[in-house]
Amino acid sequence: MKKLIILAGVTLSLLFAGCGEKQKETLSVIPVPLQVDLQKGTFRLNDQTWLWVDAPQQDRMRLEDYMAGSPLLLVSTLEEVEDNAVIIQQVDQLPGVTSPEGYVLTVTPKNVKIQATSGAGLFYGIQTLLQMVNDKNEVPVGTITDEPRFAYRGIMLDVSRHFFDLDFVKKQIDAVAYYKLNRLHMHLTDAAGWRIEIDKYPRLTEFAAWREFPTWKEWWNNGRKYKEEGEKDAYGGYYTKEDIRELVAYAQEHYITVIPEIEMPAHSEEVLTAYPELSCTHEPYKQADFCIGNEKTFEFLENVLTEVMELFPSEYIHIGGDEAGKASWKTCKLCQARMKKEGLKDVNELQSYLIHRIEVFLNAHGRKLLGWDEILEGGLAPNATVMSWRGTEGGIKAVKAGHRAIMTPGEFCYFDSYQDAPDSQPEAIGGYLPLSKVYSYNPIPESLSADEAKLIYGVQANLFAEYIPTPEHLEMMIYPRILALAEVGWSAPSRKDYTDFHARALKAVEELKASGYHPFDLKNEIGNRPGADKPITHLAIGKKVTYGPDAAYYPGYSAGGDSALVDGIVGGWTYGDKRWQGFIDKKRMDVTIDMETETEIHFIGADFMQVCGPEVFMPNEVIISVSNDGKEFTELKRIEHKVVKDDKVTFTNFAWEGDAKARYIRYQATSGEFGGFLFTDEIVVK
């Protein structure tokens, strides 16, 4: 299916506002346009409606082809037409529109006219029109003036952890272009498989693109071995140069730029097993980080990037830069020699040396460097753009230093996390990112000045695919959340309204399904964990809490500090929601609550969560005790719990029930053999 099907009768509804001529608009367009002024009446398309595209040749041909594949059956003409026509016209200037991607769509009973100052603007006007046509082929009379909030509106697909073929990627381009995204970032290389043909280094695709086990999880947990292409049970794949050319051209037809990501200096186990001489130890299967002391590393990276630049016209080349272990650099003779020679004081500066040098290379070839926010460590390369993923701090820092930033913070933009109650979903990496939370994101951090805010280039959703083995599953993780991201990236904050968006998203989900996509079943969304929607009340609320020796909470998971476990705020589906308090130091939690006076107590309990991927486990022992002097405690209950690893996110309440009278309550929990984090959200006392 090339284009999205427009579903009968669901794309437009009009409410009359009193008996005046104007109608209250309730257009079901995603992302919501900047300005909509609807009048009474409609233009009806029929089988004699003309299509006249009046634009420079390349855009004209692109847009005519696009329209020929759309559900609107128009008759193309090169002649100027007025009546019964859809006119798509590039103009030099457009009042009220400053972005080249903006457009004005005017509908009269006689015709539809889309005007913009660029092909992209015309394309976005077309997307709005396609979403406005109803089942009777009618479009409401009126004017839409629209332009994006951000110039960069992206989605990243991870095709390394699981390989997704060219047709599948093209299918996603169809859909995301329909929602006015304009960047496709391809995470082409990582430990789980190299995915792009490079003539100079054939082992990257003969070997590093293939592995044992079809799922990342089996591969990761069972030795992480690569295989030869064609070997029995080899899993993997790669895009040939021809595939990439086709992909880039297809994206261009949809006004989408494809940005390739080639990971360096880390996440490169597959390269360093195929070409071990590029690692510090020269041993296959041992290293994730390139040796930065070795000139051969630069020769390799520059050769690869040269072939990559030949294929991708994108102004940006993404060089990864994230999560380097940096350990081997500390003992590697060549790395140490490089540090000495270049006056680099630590391994962060060594990493920065590589990023700077690669930037010089890319700039010399007319390209710009884009990297994950770790490229800030050791000093940012002079012209680099930062993709802020570990929260927003990296983006803020980059912008304050005068660099552009693209915001992709995990909390709002990582679509690999659960979008609904985990036990209703296939296994994910963890987290909880429902549609409403994506929608709530504002990519401009409050701490920025108006001038700094201009350097926020845009926003992107990231689909890392460790736990996403199939195309259907990947689509379920993308849709409908990408619709929310599209509206975050395009629409003016004053135009956003979640209730209204939700209604439009429900319709869009049906449209996507009818077009052969596999979106999440939004209409049956369960929502956050019961109790997490509003504060609860119990006897210990607001009481003083002290933490035992060696049992402090981990500062990164404080849930608000010492009062968190008696604040009435219940945790949601993820320990990352700032409502769960985490304990990792000395593997235990030891909390005492002072009830202030001797109190009758009948229940003391706390929920814990387990999600094994990130090493969050249930306690293997819980002790609940009470005291009147805060020194001598009487044990009320000791709970032994066998911790069993599983693939789920689970919640268990460890509680005592009975009759007691005491001033102090002590709740202790200890980790079992797997260590990791303990997470609890509230000690409930009744």
- Cis peptide, bond prior to residue 31, ω within 30 of zero: yes
Catalytic entry in 246, 323, 393, 525: 323
Q: Which two tokens stand for residue 382?
A: 């002079």
Q: For residues 568 and 613, which CB has a smaller minimum distance to ligand ACM in the complex? A: 613
- Catalytic, 190? Answer yes
Strand partners, 44: 138
Q: For residues 59 and 377, which CB has a smaller minimum distance to ligand ACM in the complex? A: 377
Q: Decide if residue 393 touches ligand ACM (CB under 6 A).
A: no
Residue 397 CB neighbours (<10 A): 16
Q: For residues 205 and 460, which CB has a smaller minimum distance to ligand ACM in the complex? A: 460
Question: Least distance from C-beta 675 to ligand ACM, angstroms?
Answer: 23
Q: Decide if residue 322 touches ligand ACM (CB under 6 A).
A: yes
Q: Decide if residue 389 touches ligand ACM (CB under 6 A).
A: yes
Strand 23-27 relative to strand 12-16: parallel, antiparallel, unpaired? antiparallel
For residues 363 to 382, the per-residue mask of contacts with ligand ACM, x marking binding by CB under 6 A and - elsewhere, is ---------x----------
Residues 439-478 that bind ligand ACM (CB under 6 A): 464
Question: Least distance from C-beta 358 to ligand ACM, angstroms?
Answer: 17
Q: For residues 188 and 669, which CB has a smaller minimum distance to ligand ACM in the complex? A: 188
- Catalytic, 299? Answer no
Q: For residues 307 and 322, which CB has a smaller minimum distance to ligand ACM in the complex? A: 322
Catalytic entry in 162, 267, 318, 403: 267
Question: Least distance from C-beta 313 to ligand ACM, angstroms?
Answer: 24
Q: For residues 266 and 350, which CB has a smaller minimum distance to ligand ACM in the complex? A: 266
| Helices within 275-424 (DSSP H only) | 295-311, 327-331, 333-342, 347-364, 393-400, 410-413
Question: Least distance from C-beta 559 to ligand ACM, angstroms?
Answer: 23
Q: Which two tokens stand for residue 487?
A: 């509206």
∠ CA 465-468-469, rounded to 5°:
115
Which residue do the tokens 């991927």 mark? 613
Q: For residues 389 and 501, which CB has a smaller minimum distance to ligand ACM in the complex? A: 389
Q: Count interface residues toward ligand ACM (CB under 6 A).
A: 5
* Among candidate residues 267, 204, 261, 200, the one with its CA nearest the CA of residue 237: 204
Burial class of residue 163 in the structure, from the number of CB atoms within 10 Å of its CB (0-12 exposed, 13-18 middle, 19+ buried): buried
Task: Give the C-alpha separation, 78 to 283, whole Å.
Answer: 64
Q: Which two tokens stand for residue 108?
A: 């009269």
Cα maximum dimension of the chain: 94
Residues 478 and 155: beta-carbon distance below 8 Å: yes
Q: Which two tokens stand for residue 29?
A: 């367009």
CA dihedral 308, 312, 314, 319 (to 10 degrees): -30
Catalytic entry in 147, 158, 190, 270: 190
Residue number, nearest CB to ligand ACM: 322
Task: Write down the number of H helices and E strands in the chain.
Answer: 18, 26
Question: Least distance from C-beta 372 to ligand ACM, angstroms?
Answer: 5
The CA–CA distances, whole Å, from 122 to 169, 490, 564 equal 23, 15, 52
Can you give the binding site for ligand ACM, defined by CB under 6 A? Answer: 322-323, 372, 389, 464
Q: Which residues are catalytic?
A: 190, 267, 323
